[in-house]
Structure 1
Amino acid sequence: MLITIIILVLSAVFFVNGKIRSDLVALCALVALLIFQILTPDEALSGFSNSVVIMMVGLFVVGGAIFQTGLAKMISSHILKLAGKSELKLFLLVMLVTSAIGAFVSNTGTVALMLPIVVSLAVSANMNPSRLLMPLAFASSMGGMMTLIGTPPNLVIQNALTSAGFPPLSFFSFFPVGIICVAVGTLVLLPLSKWFLSKRGKNGEDNVHSGKSLKQLVKEYGLSSNLFRLRVVGDSRLHGKTIIELDIRRKYGLNILEVRRGDMSQHRFLKTITQKLADPGTVLQKEDILYVTGDFEKIKLFAEDYLLEMLDEHTTEEAKNSANSLDFYDIGIAEIVLMPSSNLINLTIKGAGFRDKFNVNVLGIRRKKEYLLQDLGNERIHSGDVLLVQGTWNNIARLSKEDADWVVLGQPLAEAAKVTLDYKAPVAAVIMVLMVAMMVFDFIPVAPVTAVMIAGILMVLTGCFRNVEAAYKTINWESIVLIAAMLPMSLALEKTGASEYISNSLVSELGTYGPLALMAGIYFTTSLMTMFISNTATAVLLAPIAMQSATQIGVSPVPFLFAVTLGASMCFASPFSTPPNALVMPAGQYAFMDYVKVGLPLQIIMGIVMVLVLPLLFPF
């Protein structure tokens, strides 16, 4: 028992210190429990197969897909309209929406659902995401107190009551308690988050790379201001022809940037849009949409000659949400600057062989303050020229390896990762709704962890990610290892009798001071233990002790059991006491001490309020 407590205390010290990564500390604690033979290898590794850990992995993938498809941005824009430019309204909306969802969906699921939305909200409102993410995690736990299914400890005390022969609690027996939790939490977090979280994460990481964003490049080179869409209709003379046969650049002075093709196959749900670079050999098909740049009059002439349908009269960069704007799902753009020693100096763009060697097009040249966009084929390359090239993301990445003649500005693959696959947003929304439905409705015989796994796999299979590797990159393995390695700690405390010894000692000392003092002792004992072991494990451990203590002094066990579930669920002072706390840790760039600064005062105030309120709601 003593060794287990020493390992627990040392782990807590290193967590607070923050100099060693939290996942490494958790693994060291796990290895120590193995070395001293407190746990068997099967027991020690049980955390890595725990349903909570597997669910967290799946939820990272689901959350990543919600962000990658732009669904988070769409939802956040609607919330942002309600909040306007007020940080206070935005904070209150996040707290209320999260609490409402948390009442019916697991707190882990709620955070995974809301995390990408809140990050997108904060960015849109020019607000630091760390100001909202910790309150988001706490609000999900508070919302869980409003219904019977909101959090596992609620079900634990329900089971304890019915096992002892008491009538079961109704679905909304928890509602008054939950409302008070949300109100107290919101009032306390409002100043605390502003004092301690507003400056978190402002380390300029977003500005590490020197390249321009895709939107900046489009605007700078005026690509959208002379961009037009033409559709190949049934009687069009382009049908079945290749781009090189058209000779559009010589005849009309126009440039085809892209051919966008709707997927006409039966697997429309799996793939909805295909972008093709305008290669000379590309065979044009019916319903293809050509993205063409050039003079408007020449565009009209080209459309008339080949019987093409013009989809828009004119496009500007302001029309960024419309269908005729440039998108970068499969193909992208980047700038390359020519080196003074480059072998391409004085060669023409056509002679440089960008299309033949790298399968990329040159869309524009920036020469000092001048931008050349028309008739580039015969333009000679000068030293110091910056070329705007277009190609598939992989081909643009290949250019980075040819560093003798040029340097690729910025990080094209990093920019590609930021491109939202917005045409997949409806698919992601359907999968997300199905996942929530499977979690909420009991008549669907699917466990929550299974629902999350199904949703995660569907997000990948339906193309909500660029590739499988992109899905894996959304998983924060530090958080996963941290939770998985700390879960067996509760087993060690229970196995050695440390948990029972600590709780019994505290409760027996306070029993003589009356039911209120005893209930307060149970609440804060539960609250303290949940800082180091999972809230569900703590509730399972203390529920029978609370029941027995209430019976011994001849009072109703209901307020005592509520003290257990509240103490277990309202734990905010540690990042690994509940999965939501761990989920927001990497995204908010929080240190262990941030949870102590914000969560500990909230946890203490919440405890005091609840100890005073519970006897009023559920008399002894």
Structure 2
Amino acid sequence: MTYDQIFLFSLLGLVFAFLVWGRVRYDLVAFAALVVAVIGGVVPAERAFAGFGHEAVIIIALVLIVSRAMVNAGAVEVVARFVLSAGRSLSTHIGIMSVVGAALSAVINNVAALVMLMTLDMEAAEKAKRPVAQSLMPLSFATILGGMITQIGTPPNIVVAQFRDRALGAPFSMFDFSPVGLVCALVGIAFVTTVGWRLIPDTGQRAAVGEGRDTGLFVAEASAKEDSKAIGQSPSALYPLADECDVSILGLVRRGKRLPGFAAGEEIRKNDHLVLEGDPKSIESFIGGADLTPAGADKHGGLTGKSLTLVEAIVPDNARMVGRTALDLKLLYRRGVTLLGVSRQGKRFRDRVRDLAIKPGDVVLLLGPESRVTDAAEWLGVLPLAEKSHTVTQRSKAVFTIAVFALAVTAAVMGYVPLSVGLAGAVTIYALFNIIGGREVYEAVEWPVIILLGSLIPLGLALEESGGTRLIAEAIVAQAGALPAWAILAILMIVTMTLSDFLNNVATALIAAPVGLSVARALEVSPDPFLMGVAVAASCAFLTPIGHKNNTIIMGPGGYRFGDYWRMGLPLEIIIIAIGVPAILFFWPL
């Protein structure tokens, strides 16, 4: 072996060892390895940071931003309302959630899809009084499976598509992954729905959704504007939706006065205000479902208005708010912020929120653009609670957001613009229309993954150019030379899948894709089946909680242990290999 090959194999061996060890951040490990490679002379200094400008890196970052915009606009909420039901059997619930999760993962990042649906799943478990562990892991696996359906669904597909472009002169297109990915996803979902969830041990985690939830409930108001669907209905007609959102309807305000009792049978009129009690996210969800408007929200702008944030803040003794009302302070007029709700140690009150004199110890719920809320909190002398801010879903922009995304994808599929340019155009429009704020654009990007990918791309190129990947391929072919090509493809997928269970799937795809290409060339067959096999295998990390971020996210809420994942994950990985190999060879012949 040459000096470059020895150096790179040794360096990558150390990288893998540190990644499996897990005590050092994976982005730091990758970046340090890049620096060492440059110092060692195996990566030219002028190409050291070329990976950060690689199209795969750009696409992954843009997909994450688009996913955040979809969440902000409530693009998924309409579907989600039909998903949540405590009355369904567990298998039916898992099947519906899995299908929805997989479908979402095909068009947005699969981590974002899980995060959006996880809360719904936990709420359903709480209402059905069953262990949340029975359904969280199937949901996580389903979102991983769904990511394989399109190029943008999961980072390994993006990496492999762009590698093919560099190696063969043309990338995999958006839906080239769909035939194989769809077959694997459907079979995988059928397994987790019927058999897989029965293999999950009882973790005893039966109330995960309630853990960490603030026990203080807010009293807030929402108005019925001219075009609201709530007009003509009674508060009692909205009780089922209120129960679903865990919100209590306390009464009705008309012309500035609260009607007697709960006004349950009173017909809601234009500009009436419903008085609500619940936690901030429940109130926000009910307001959207009932087609109401948060008090004062119409003063914060229309389609091009700023994205709104809900912030909880505690009122200390010396706060400017103490003893004064929102009207006294002219909060909306002076600061552009609405006092949406007040929590007072679980006590209810009949005063309107804006007429309520604030007391020390109250927790107030402020609504407005993020920068204004921050300034207003400082002016009021209140203390925002850490991790207690909530982005207000801009439901009126949901159709617009989906249309922009569909237009971007269509333009890319039709070949009018590269996928990266189409997604960049969508992100630009989202930012211009404040569907996603300037700060959120940067917050949405998972920077450790970007650093990992940008650092490992030059190492992968160096390994390929040094002949290292060809050596690995020759070793695989030599050991399995008597086997047919389909068996060697299966071996490559098994090795890749095993690596992905313990390493980041992006790192696995970066190393395995060049090896797959070299194996195909050694066998003198089409490289596409082997590249597709790498994409499928790198995405399917089901044995451990560290192989895929989705599995890590559910570990705490589900109460899972490290050894719980393989019980359902091992049979699923075997099924994916058994189904994936013939599906790949059918759609991508040798």
- Could you tell me which residue of structure 1 aligns to residue 42 of structure 2? 38
Alignment check: 8 A CA contact 2:160 2:513 kept: yes
* Residue 77 of structure 2 is aligned to residue 73 of structure 1: yes
- Aligned match of 1:182: 185
Amino acid at match of 2:20: V
The 1:7/1:72 distance shift into structure 2, 3 A limit, reads same
1 CA distance for matches of 2:37 and 2:577? 32
Q: Does the 8 Å contact 2:225/2:293 carry over to 1? A: no
Q: CA deviation at 1:101?
A: 7.8
Give the Cα–Cα distance (whole angstroms) in 2 for the partners of residues 602 and 584 of structure 1.
Answer: 16
Q: Residues 536-573 of structure 1: CA distance to partner in whole angstroms, max 9, x if unpaired?
A: 77445534642542x5xxxxx46x86355324432246
Q: Which runs of 5+ in 1 are unaligned?
A: 164-168, 232-289, 298-308, 552-556, 576-580
Query: What is the aligned counterpart of 2:16 among 12, 15, 18?
Result: 12
Matches within 5 A, 1:312-331: 315=274, 317=276, 320=287, 321-326=289-294, 329=297, 330=300
Q: Does 1:546 align with 2:545?
A: no
Q: Which residue of 1 aligns with 2:121?
A: 122
SS at match of 2:439: helix
Contact 1:95-1:135 within 8 A present in 2 as well: yes
Q: 1: distance between equivalents of 2:52 and 2:293? A: 46
Q: One-letter code of the match for 2:400?
A: V
CA 1:432–1:296 in structure 2 vs 1: closer, same or farther (change >3 Å)?
same
CA shift in 2, pair 1:7/1:391, >3 Å: closer
Identity %: 17
For residue 570 of structure 1, give the secondary structure of its aligned residue in structure 2: helix
- Give the distance between the partners of 2:145 and 2:465, measured in 1 at CA: 30
Change (3 A) 1:312 1:201: same
Residue identity matched to 1:462: F
1:157-168 aligned at under 5 Å gives the runs none
Q: CA deviation digits over 1:201-250, x for unaligned, max 9?
A: 999899769685xxx4235xxx45xx67689xxxxxxxxxxxxxxxxxxx
Match of 2:349 in 1: 371
Number of matched pairs:
506
Partner of 2:270: 311
3-state SS, counterpart of residue 349 of structure 2: strand
- TM-superposed CA distance for 1:137, in Å, is 2.5
Per the alignment, residue 67 of structure 2 pairs with 63
Residues 492 and 109 (structure 1), Cα distance of their counterparts in 2 relative to 1, 3 Å cut: farther
Shift of 1:52: 1.1
Contact 1:336 1:409 in 2 (8 A): yes
Partner of 1:92: 95
Residues 536, 434 of structure 1: CA spacing in aligned structure 2 closer, same or farther, 3 A cutoff?
farther
Letter in 1 for 2:536: S
- Residues 584, 447 of structure 1: alpha-carbon distance in 2 compared, 3 angstrom cutoff: farther
Measured after TM superposition, the shift of residue 24 of structure 1 is 1.1
Distance 1:400 1:434 in 2: 40
Residue pairs, 1:153-552, within 5 angstroms: 180-186=183-189, 212=216, 216-218=217-219, 223=221, 293-296=256-259, 311=270, 315=274, 317=276, 320=287, 321-326=289-294, 329=297, 330=300, 337=315, 339=317, 369=347, 371=349, 373=351, 384=360, 386=362, 392=368, 397-398=374-375, 400-401=377-378, 407-408=382-383, 410=385, 417-439=390-412, 441-442=413-414, 444-465=415-436, 467-512=437-482, 518=488, 520-521=490-491, 524=494, 533=507, 535=509, 538-539=512-513, 541-543=515-517, 545-549=519-523
Question: How does the TM-score come out when normalised to structure 1?
Answer: 0.63
Measured against aligned partners, the alpha-carbon deviations of 1:112-154 in whole angstroms (never above 9, x if no partner) come to 7845653464355456766534531233226779xxxx87868
8 Å contact from structure 1 (residues 526, 567) kept in 2: yes
User: Aligned-pair distance for 1:110?
Assistant: 5.9
Q: Which residue identity lines up with residue 294 of structure 2 in the other structure? A: L
Displacement after TM superposition at 1:449 (Å): 0.9
Range that drifts further, 107-116 or 36-45: 107-116
1:157·1:565 contact (CA, 8 Å) conserved in 2? no
The CA distance in 1 between the partners of 2:224 and 2:102, in whole Å, is 46
Q: CA deviation at 1:460?
A: 0.7
Are the structure 2 counterparts of residues 545 and 336 from structure 1 closer, same or farther at C-alpha, using a change threshold of 3 Å? closer
Which residue of structure 1 aligns with residue 31 of structure 2? Answer: 27
Contact 1:60 1:474 in 2 (8 A): yes
1:569 aligned partner: 536
Q: Which has the larger radius of gyration?
A: 1
Change over 3 Å in CA distance of 1:136–1:228 after alignment to 2: closer
Check 1:422–1:155 CA distance in 2 against 1; reply closer, same or farther (3 A cut).
Answer: closer
CA change 1:317–1:343 in 2 (3 A) is closer
Once the 2 structures are TM-superposed, how far is the Cα of residue 453 of structure 1 from its aligned partner?
Answer: 0.7
CA contact (8 A) 2:151 2:175 kept: no
Cα–Cα, structure 1 residues 108 and 193, in superposed 2: closer, same or farther, change >3 Å? farther
C-alpha distance in structure 1 between counterparts of 2:589 and 2:427, whole Å: 45
CA contact (8 A) 1:200 1:589 kept: no
Task: Tell me, in whole angstroms, the C-alpha distance in 2 between the residues paired with 1:157 and 1:400.
Answer: 52
> Per the alignment, do residues 609 and 64 of structure 1 end up closer, same or farther by CA in structure 2, a change over 3 Å counting?
closer
* Alpha-carbon offset, residue 177 of structure 1: 5.3
Q: CA deviation at 1:452?
A: 0.9
Q: Partner of 1:218: helix, strand, or coil?
A: strand
Change (3 A) 1:617 1:108: closer
Letter aligned with residue 505 of structure 1: A
Once the two structures are superposed, the pairs formed by residues 43-54 of structure 1 within 5 Å of their partners are 43-54=47-58
The answer on whether the counterparts of 1:144 and 1:178 sit within 8 Å (CA) in structure 2 is no
What is the alpha-carbon root mean square deviation over aligned residues? 5.5
The structure-2 alpha-carbon separation of the partners of 1:73 and 1:200, relative to structure 1 and needing over 3 Å to count, comes to farther
Shift of 1:478: 1.6
Q: Separation in 2 of the partners of 1:390 and 1:604?
A: 51
Determine which of 130, 137, 140 is the counterpart of 2:144.
137
In 1: Cα distance, 2:402 partner to 2:326 partner: 45
TM-score, length-normalised on structure 2? 0.65
Distance 2:50 2:561 in 1: 25
Evaluate the alpha carbon distance shift between residue 294 and residue 13 of structure 1 in structure 2; reply closer, same or farther with a 3 A threshold: same
Aligned match of 1:238: none
Q: Which runs of 5+ in 2 are unaligned?
A: 126-131, 228-252, 261-267, 278-285, 301-307
Contact 1:479–1:583 under 8 Å retained in 2: no
Counterpart residue type for residue 520 of structure 2: A
The answer to whether the 8 Å contact 2:367/2:373 transfers is yes
Instruction: Go from structure 1 to structure 2 and tell me whether the alpha carbon gap of 1:618 and 1:542 turns closer, same or farther (over 3 Å shift).
Output: closer
Contact 1:335-1:387 at 8 Å conserved across structures: yes
